[in-house]
Structure 1
Amino acid sequence: MENSRPIDLALLVQHKLRLTRSKQLLPELAVLETLFDCLFYSSMCKEESDLTRVTVTLINPDNPDPAPPANLVPERWSCIAFDRKIPMTTKSLAKLSKAADPSSTSLAVYFDDKGRLYVWGMIDQAMHYQNFLNYESDMYSEQPGLFQVAVSDIGTLHVFFDYELLATLKQNVLVKRYLDVLTIGPISKMIKKNADFLKVALRTYIDQVHPTEQYTEWEEFLDGLWIQTFSRLLLKIQNYQHGGAILIAPDTIDLDVKYKIHYDRLAQALIAHAKASIDQYVVENRIYSDFKKGRRSVARNTYQKETELFFHKKGTADEIKGAISFIASQSCVDGVILFNESMVANGFGAVLRSKKMPRKIFVSNTSTATPKSLVPHDPKHYGTRHRSMISYCWNHPSALGFVISQDGEIRAFSKIEDKLIMWENIKTQQYKTSRSGRRNQQ
């Protein structure tokens, strides 16, 4: 939705709050509008030459934790109250944002009986929330308050209900849906095809080492592992705020690769991690079966084996994380990061030499790029990085390109039949619906 304003975001959030049927006091529309107005204009403020980046949680100070779970984990959030309430203004938010890194902290805000907003404390342990969103952790718990709002850039607000991204206001554009192109549609098919190296290695491993396991039961796990890894790579590049591009191509035709390398560690680490996951599952399943049969203890050798596999799996996960960081940092050099179809990094700082440009491209508002979802655009309206990727993918139909803008926008490009299609507003983080998040309270 173009030409949107904070009031449009307020209306959307009000509708969502009503659907939740919460027993808590819900804010009036005027309160929500004031909240988003304040955050929107705060995003344009600077404190000590830095732009304001902050996350706030709308949470009642009189009852911040109305329904705590039965089992409290050590890393669960807590509220730390100030000795006095601070009026919520652009100035106070800019000042407090220096002490409230969004990666670890959220500001607790609420409203009085006259609808005036104030900051009353801080909420800790937010890094676990961010780790889950960015596929760095499989563990998640319920989030505090009614909802969270993150200010990530100038005029950019993200509204979360638990682990559900409700909407994003980007200056004057309200994004209510992110396209899951990595799991649905033609981009997903290409990505999964590029994971064949992983599937071939694991099929052989299962046949040789775990013949009682069915490969088909692990295929979905392997697809998910690769898609999560690729999402993490895109997110890591996005976080540099430098801009960058990834090209997956079968050859180096029309490419001038400034820094040629052969880095297959990411691919090998994925294979090792998948093997470790299967090994651990088999041993754990054996232990579980023994207990079902009435056995009351675990054999010493089995316990040692399970422990060894646990740490080996963790080690391979850390290796994947390190390989992702190694590759992502190469995006800070102007040019494209180049992968082959087996996801071996073959260089960075690559220049795309294709010159022929399509007269128009088609922007898809669905992951599947159905004919009705395609909107024609003039490619000349985009910047140099986008135009070079458009030209290359137009001339090389087997190529798949991703461009990450300095403002964090991620776009995908591929030629489907006779059309060059672009996808934007791509889902890269691990979102869940609020309802599913509540089922797994810790």
Structure 2
Amino acid sequence: MSIANAKPKDLALHVLKKLTHSKLSLPIPSLPVLEDLFECVFFASMRTEESDLIRVTVTLIDPENPDPRPPKKVVDERWSVIRFNTHIELSIKNLVKLSKASDPSTTSLAVYYDLEGKLYVWGMIDQAIHYQSFLNYESDSGSEQPGLFQVVVNDIGTLDVLFDYELLATLKQNVLISRYLDVFTIGPVSKILKANAGHLKAELRTFLATEHPEEDFEDWETFADGLWIQTLSRLLLRVQNYHHGGGILITGNEEDIDVKYKVNYDRLKIAVTKYAREIINNYVAEALIEDHLAAGKKSIVKDWYQEESRSLFSRQKIADEIKGCISFLASHTCVDGVLIFDPEMVSKGFGGVLKAKKMPKKIFVSPTATATPKSLIPADPNHFGTRHRSMIGYCWNHPGSLGLVVSQDGDIRAFYRIEDKLIMWENIKTQQFIKSRKSKKAY
């Protein structure tokens, strides 16, 4: 869901409603405080410092009670606040200056307000790198987040407001996006990707039958689908980070494509399969050890311990390999043209020119992941740029092909033909956002 002609005050009102209907025990700031905060960050995002665009994260956190409910067991990588000697007024100028010392991938600025509602910066928060790693599917878990919420500047005039690991809203220039479409989890796009993961599931079925016959494949099928979808999401996130734009086409058809740089890169496919196997190996070894100890045994079989350690180490190494593969492939989208994959995620080349010229008279924008017929909104394909039109033409002429276009501003759109309609999805969810436990089920 999105609202056009939105301003920072609209974002403030939306966030206030969300916070008011949450399970928070912390004080909720007034609407004027939120408006001042979002306006300051919004206008700071349009500035530059030493010719660089502003990238910064702000955390609203009370200096008198920054950690009201610390966990019983504090992990080593948990966040901490480094206080300034004096408070600094939160102004556009000060925020721009401080942004140079606070890379949002590792740090956030601690901000709060006084009794008069005036905002100030009182410190910096470290260890944000683990938060970003979880959001981008590069780690399996993330610790709880400090403060009330985070405001992240991702681009010019673009603010994300995060509540724990839940995305409350995005203000993208003049558009307020309150909900991203989870097309990779439900709906037609999800079905395509799960079907494309068929080879991975076949490999795991054989692997389980041979190496772990006590395990049921059905218990691992959802894991395989999720791993496949996470891999594609990570690739799209890497493409977004280039701010160059790019296109990815997943198709089993080689017609109407002129590939300038042909390759046959299957390392990502192989690495994902190896990773899945080691996940299973590690799970089985851990389960054997835990069941043995739970039964009151005081010692464990040496082979079990060695396998648990070996599989964990191997899993970490393969995770690094996958990360390298994704970075390698994402860089190919910086060349003009489309990155081509077959359904099994084997790259067939990049710099692809899509030559299908027959265009549908209209396309249909889906505001839902499921693309229910009643929800579809007709649109003129000629209103889109060259990159989008070429993808529309190809997916229209070659049913079964899935097209993904990343704009220079980071927007992701998906294209797929369903019967006699070319469907387009936008505002697509790629990061690992999770509904906060502090949120109520219904707002």
Give the TM-score normalised by structure 2: 0.97
CA distance in 1, matches of 2:99, 2:72: 33
- Counterpart in 2 of 1:163? 165
- Other-structure match for 1:110: 112
Question: For 1:26 and 1:292, how far apart are their aligned partners in 2?
Answer: 45
1:154-206 deviation per Cα after TM superposition (whole angstroms, max 9, x unaligned): 11110000000000011111100100000100000001111111011111111
Distance 2:291 2:94 in 1: 58
Aligned to 1:222, the other structure's residue is in SS state helix
The whole-number CA distance in structure 1 between the counterparts of 2:206 and 2:289 is 25
1:231 matched residue in structure 2 = 233
Q: CA deviation at 1:293?
A: 2.4
- Determine which of 323, 326, 331 is the counterpart of 2:325: 323
Give the structure 2 partner of residue 345 of structure 1: 347
State the alpha-carbon separation in 1 of the partners of residues 429 and 4 from structure 2.
Answer: 19
Contact between 1:205 and 1:275, CA under 8 Å: does it hold in 2?
yes
How far 1:252 sits from its partner (Å)? 1.2
Instruction: Tell me, in whole angstroms, the C-alpha distance in 1 between the residues paired with 2:155 and 2:291.
Output: 52
Q: Contact 1:199 / 1:222 at 8 angstroms: preserved in 2? A: yes
- Cα-to-partner distance string for 1:421-441 (whole Å, 9 max, x where unaligned): 100000000011110799xxx
Secondary structure of 2:437's match? helix
Q: Secondary structure at the match of 1:121?
A: strand
**Among 73, 92, 96, the residue aligned to 1:71:** 73
Give secondary structure in 1 for the equivalent of 2:344: coil
Deviations 1:201-252 (A, max 9, x none): 1111111221121111110110011111111011011111111110011121
| Residues 65 and 144, structure 1, Cα contact 8 Å, conserved in 2 | yes
Q: Which residue of 2 aligns with 1:332?
A: 334
Structure 2 CA distance for aligned equivalents of residues 309 and 153 of structure 1: 40
Aligned partner of residue 313 in structure 1, secondary structure: helix
1:401 equivalent in structure 2:
403
Partner residue, 1:92: 94
Counterpart of 1:200 in structure 2 is 202
| In structure 1, C-alpha distance between the alignment counterparts of 2:300 and 2:390, rounded to whole Å | 60
Q: What is the deviation of 1:292?
A: 2.6
Quickly say closer, same or farther: Cα 1:306–1:23, change in 2 above 3 A: closer
Equivalents in 1 of 2:25, 2:292: separation in Å? 45
How many angstroms apart in 2 are the aligned matches of 1:86 and 1:291? Answer: 54
Q: How does 1:2-17 map to 2 (within 5 A)?
A: 2-17=4-19
Match of 1:188 among 182, 187, 190: 190
Q: How many correspondences in the alignment? A: 438
User: CA–CA distance in 2 between the matches of 1:348 and 1:2?
Assistant: 35
Change (3 A) 1:219 1:323: same
1:329-374 CA-to-partner distances (Å, cap 9, x unmatched) read 1111111110011211110010000111111111100000001221
Q: 1:382 aligns with which of 378, 381, 384?
A: 384
Name the CA distance, whole Å, in 2 between partners of 1:45 and 1:207: 59
Instruction: Sort the Cα spacing of 1:281 and 1:437 in 2 relative to 1 into closer, same or farther, 3 A.
Output: farther
Separation (CA, whole Å) in 2 of partners of 1:288 and 1:67: 30
1:258 lines up with 2:260 in the alignment: yes
Alignment partner for residue 48 of structure 1, among 47, 50, 59?
50
Q: Which residue in the other structure is 1:280 paired with? A: 282
Give structure 1 stretches of 5+ with no counterpart. none
Say which of 425, 428, 437 aligns to 1:426: 428
| CA distance in structure 2 between the partners assigned to 1:146 and 1:3 by the alignment | 27
* Larger deviation, residues 314-323 vs 88-97: 314-323
Which SS does the other structure have where 1:199 is aligned?
A: helix
Give 1:276 deviation, angstroms.
1.0
Distance of 1:81 and 1:437 partners within structure 2:
29
For residues 297 and 133 of structure 2, the distance between their equivalents in structure 1, rounded to whole angstroms, comes to: 38
CA displacement at 1:142 relative to structure 2: 1.1
Q: Could you tell me how far 1:42 is from its partner in structure 2?
A: 0.8
Name which of structure 1's ranges 154-163 and 302-311 shifts more when overlaid on structure 2.
302-311
**1:392 alignment partner in structure 2:** 394
Query: Is the counterpart of residue 267 in structure 1 residue 269 in structure 2?
Result: yes
2:192 is matched by which residue type in structure 1?
M
| Per-residue CA distance 1:40-83 (angstroms, 9 max, x = gap) | 11111111111211110011111111111111011111111111
Which residue of 314, 318, 328 maps to 2:316?
314
2:377 aligned with 1:372: no
Quote the Cα distance in structure 1 between the aligned partners of 2:319 and 2:121: 39
Cα pair distance change 1:208/1:24, threshold 3 Å = closer
Q: 1:21 and 1:231 mapped to 2: Cα distance?
A: 31
- Equivalents in 1 of 2:386, 2:158: separation in Å? 24
TM-score of the pair, normalised by structure 1:
0.97
Aligned residues: percent identity?
62
- Cα pair distance change 1:87/1:436, threshold 3 Å: closer
Contact 1:162–1:437 under 8 Å retained in 2: no
Q: Deviations over 1:369-427 (max 9, x none)?
A: 00122111111111110010001001111110000011000110000111111000000
RMSD value, Cα:
1.3
Name the SS for the 1:434 alignment partner: coil
Amino acid at match of 1:150: V
Q: 2:132 aligns with which of 130, 133, 142?
A: 130
Q: Distance in 1 between matches of 2:317 and 2:57?
A: 32
Unaligned runs of at least 5 residues, structure 2 = none
The amino acid of 2:360's aligned partner reads P
CA contact (8 A) 2:150 2:161 kept: yes
Number of the residue aligned with 1:301:
303
Separation in structure 1 between the aligned mates of residue 230 and residue 439 of structure 2, nearest angstrom: 19
